[in-house]
C-alpha cells in the first residue's frame, strides 16, 4: 500500500476521540478519513479537532465507502460484535475496542465473519503495548527469567464507576478483569485451563446490590502448569495500581507503577512521593498510540494483528468462568464455558 491508510472512526466518545487524535497527529502512515456517531455534535467536535474531512451520517455510509480501508469501532460494547460483522462483510479491516461482546455466541459469530472475509481484526487490549508490561513479556519470551512458574497481576482502579455503569458493564470480570485475563495470556504465552475466584463486596454495598463484586482474587491455572493470580479492586485510595510480577526458573521480573514525577520529599514526618498516575488515560498514554501503530502496520504490511480475534475471545470466556467459579464456590474449567457454546479457542496469530 503506497498511499496512506484511510480510517473511519465509529463512536466519538472519550476513547474514540483519543484514537482519532493519535491517527491524526502521531501516525503519518494513516489518516482519519471519516467519523460517525449517533451524537452528531460529538462527531463534529472531534472532526474539527483532528481535521477529519467527513462526518458520516451513519455507519452504513462508512461501510459503503470504497475509500475507507478500515474502521475503529469505539461505540458501546453491545454494538461491537454487530459492527465487526458489518465491517467484515463490507471488506473493511477493524480495530475493535474490548471486549468484543459478553456473549461467546456473538463473539464467535463475529469471528467467523472476520475469518470468512479475510479482513484483519485487532481488539483493543492496549496494555500489551505498555512499555512496562512489554518489558515483562520480553523477559519471558527471551527466557531472560527462564520458564515462568508464578504470575501475579495487581489491577486496581482509583475509584468505582457509577452504579449505572456497573449495571451495564457485564460485571467486573467482563469489564475490568478482562484486561488482566488478556495480560495473563499475553505474558505467559499460554492458555488458561481453569480458574478459581475468591471475591466479595468490600467497597460499596450498592455494587453488590447491582449483582456485581468489587474486590477479587482470580487464580489462573495455565496449560503449561504455571499458576497466576489476578488481584482486582474497584478502589485503591492512592490511585491506579497496575503492576505485574513473574517468577521463572532463572529469575523474576516485577514492575512498578508510573508516577507523574520521580521526586521524593523527606520531612520530619515521612519520606514520600506524589501519588501514581491516576487513571488509564494518563498511565497508558503510550500504549494507546502503540496499539494503533501496530494495527496500521499490520494492515499495510498484511501481517497478523498483534491482538487477534481469538485473543479477544479468550478473556470473555475467562470472565464468564471467573464469575461461575465465584457463584459456585469451585474451580471452573474454561471448557465448561467454551464447549457449551461450541467454539474453538485455538489461538491464531
Contact (Cβ atoms closer than 8 angstroms) between residue 148 and residue 140:
yes
Contact (Cβ atoms closer than 8 angstroms) between residue 213 and residue 204:
no
When the beta carbons of 27 and 307 are compared against its own copies, the nearer one is 27
When the beta carbons of 76 and 251 are compared against its own copies, the nearer one is 251
With contacts defined by CB under 8 A, name the span among 66-74, 114-122, 237-245, 338-346 that binds its own copies: 237-245
**267 near its own copies, rule: CB under 8 A:** yes
When the beta carbons of 21 and 65 are compared against its own copies, the nearer one is 21
**Least distance to its own copies, CB of residue 187, Å:** 12
Contact (Cβ atoms closer than 8 angstroms) between residue 12 and residue 76:
no
Which 8-state DSSP code applies to residue 268?
Answer: S
Q: How many residues does the chain have?
A: 349
What is the footprint of its own copies within residues 142-201 (CB under 8 A)?
144-147, 149-150, 152, 156, 196, 198-200
**25 near its own copies, rule: CB under 8 A:** yes
Phi, psi values for residue 259, rounded to 5°: -125, 155
**336 near its own copies, rule: CB under 8 A:** no
Count Cβ atoms below 10 Å from residue 134 Cβ, excluding itself. Answer: 17
Which 8-state DSSP code applies to residue 22?
Answer: H
**Least distance to its own copies, CB of residue 82, Å:** 34
* Count of CA atoms in the C-beta half-sphere (13 A) of 118: 1
Q: Pick from 331, 336, 341, 345: which binds its own copies (CB under 8 A)?
A: 331
Distance CA 196, CA 202 (A): 19
Q: Pick from 78, 205, 272, 281: which binds its own copies (CB under 8 A)?
A: 272
**29 near its own copies, rule: CB under 8 A:** no
**Least distance to its own copies, CB of residue 287, Å:** 12
**Least distance to its own copies, CB of residue 129, Å:** 12
**302 near its own copies, rule: CB under 8 A:** no
With contacts defined by CB under 8 A, name the span among 1-9, 92-100, 303-311, 323-331 that binds its own copies: 323-331
The site that binds its own copies (CB under 8 A) totals a number of residues, namely 70
When the beta carbons of 164 and 270 are compared against its own copies, the nearer one is 270
Helix (H, G, I), strand (E, B) or coil at 243: strand
**276 near its own copies, rule: CB under 8 A:** yes
Cell 520521580, residue located: 262
Which 8-state DSSP code applies to residue 257?
Answer: -
Question: Which candidate, 145, 150, 207, places its Cα nearest to that of 175?
Answer: 207
Phi, psi values for residue 213, rounded to 5°: -110, 165
Query: Site mask, its own copies, residues 100-139, x = CB under 8 A?
Result: -------------------------------xx-xxx--x
**300 near its own copies, rule: CB under 8 A:** no
**237 near its own copies, rule: CB under 8 A:** yes
What is the footprint of its own copies within residues 33-62 (CB under 8 A)?
49
Distance CA 289, CA 85 (A): 25
How far, CA to CA in Å, does 69 sit from each of 110, 120, 128? 19, 11, 25
Annotate 170-192 with DSSP letters as a single string: T-HHHHTHHHHHHHHHHHHTS-E
Distance CA 121, CA 124 (A): 10
Binding site for its own copies (CB under 8 A): 24-26, 28, 49, 131-132, 134-136, 139, 144-147, 149-150, 152, 156, 196, 198-200, 202-203, 215-217, 219, 221, 225, 227, 229, 231, 233, 235-238, 241, 247, 249-258, 260-268, 270-276, 329-331
Amino acid at each position: 500500500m503506497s498511499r496512506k491508510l484511510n480510517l473511519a472512526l465509529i463512536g466519538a466518545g472519550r476513547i474514540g476521540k483519543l484514537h482519532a487524535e493519535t491517527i491524526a497527529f502521531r501516525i503519518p502512515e494513516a489518516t482519519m478519513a471519516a467519523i460517525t456517531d449517533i451524537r452528531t455534535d460529538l462527531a463534529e467536535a472531534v472532526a474539527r479537532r483532528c481535521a477529519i474531512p467527513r462526518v458520516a451520517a451513519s455507519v452504513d455510509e462508512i461501510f459503503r465507502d470504497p475509500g475507507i480501508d478500515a474502521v475503529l469501532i469505539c461505540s458501546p460494547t453491545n454494538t461491537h460484535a454487530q459492527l465487526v460483522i458489518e465491517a467484515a462483510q463490507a471488506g473493511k479491516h477493524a480495530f475493535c475496542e474490548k471486549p468484543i461482546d459478553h456473549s461467546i455466541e456473538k463473539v464467535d459469530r463475529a469471528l467467523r465473519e472476520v475469518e470468512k472475509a479475510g479482513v484483519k481484526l485487532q481488539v483493543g487490549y492496549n496494555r500489551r503495548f505498555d512499555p512496562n508490561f512489554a518489558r515483562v513479556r520480553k523477559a519471558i519470551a527471551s527466557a531472560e527469567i527462564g520458564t515462568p512458574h508464578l504470575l501475579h497481576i495487581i489491577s486496581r482502579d482509583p475509584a468505582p464507576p457509577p452504579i449505572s455503569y456497573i449495571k451495564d458493564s457485564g460485571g467486573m470480570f467482563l469489564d475490568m478483569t478482562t484486561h488482566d485475563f488478556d495480560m495473563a495470556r499475553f505474558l505467559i504465552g499460554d492458555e488458561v485451563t481453569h480458574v478459581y475466584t475468591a471475591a466479595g463486596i468490600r467497597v460499596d454495598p450498592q455494587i453488590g446490590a447491582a449483582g456485581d463484586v468489587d474486590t477479587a482474587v482470580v487464580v489462573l491455572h495455565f496449560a503449561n502448569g504455571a499458576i497466576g493470580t489476578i488481584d482486582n479492586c474497584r478502589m485503591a485510595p492512592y490511585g491506579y495500581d497496575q503492576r505485574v510480577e513473574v517468577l521463572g526458573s532463572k529469575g523474576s521480573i516485577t514492575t512498578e507503577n508510573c508516577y507523574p514525577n520521580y521526586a521524593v520529599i523527606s520531612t520530619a514526618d515521612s519520606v514520600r512521593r506524589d501519588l501514581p498516575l491516576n487513571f488509564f488515560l494518563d498511565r497508558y498514554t503510550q500504549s494507546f498510540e502503540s496499539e494503533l501503530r501496530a494495527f496500521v502496520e499490520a494492515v499495510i504490511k498484511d501481517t497478523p494483528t498483534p491482538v487477534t480475534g481469538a485473543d479477544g475471545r479468550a478473556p470473555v470466556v475467562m470472565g464468564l468462568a471467573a464469575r461461575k467459579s465465584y457463584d459456585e464456590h469451585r474451580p471452573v474449567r474454561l471448557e465448561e464455558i467454551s464447549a457449551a457454546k461450541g467454539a474453538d479457542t485455538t489461538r491464531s496469530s
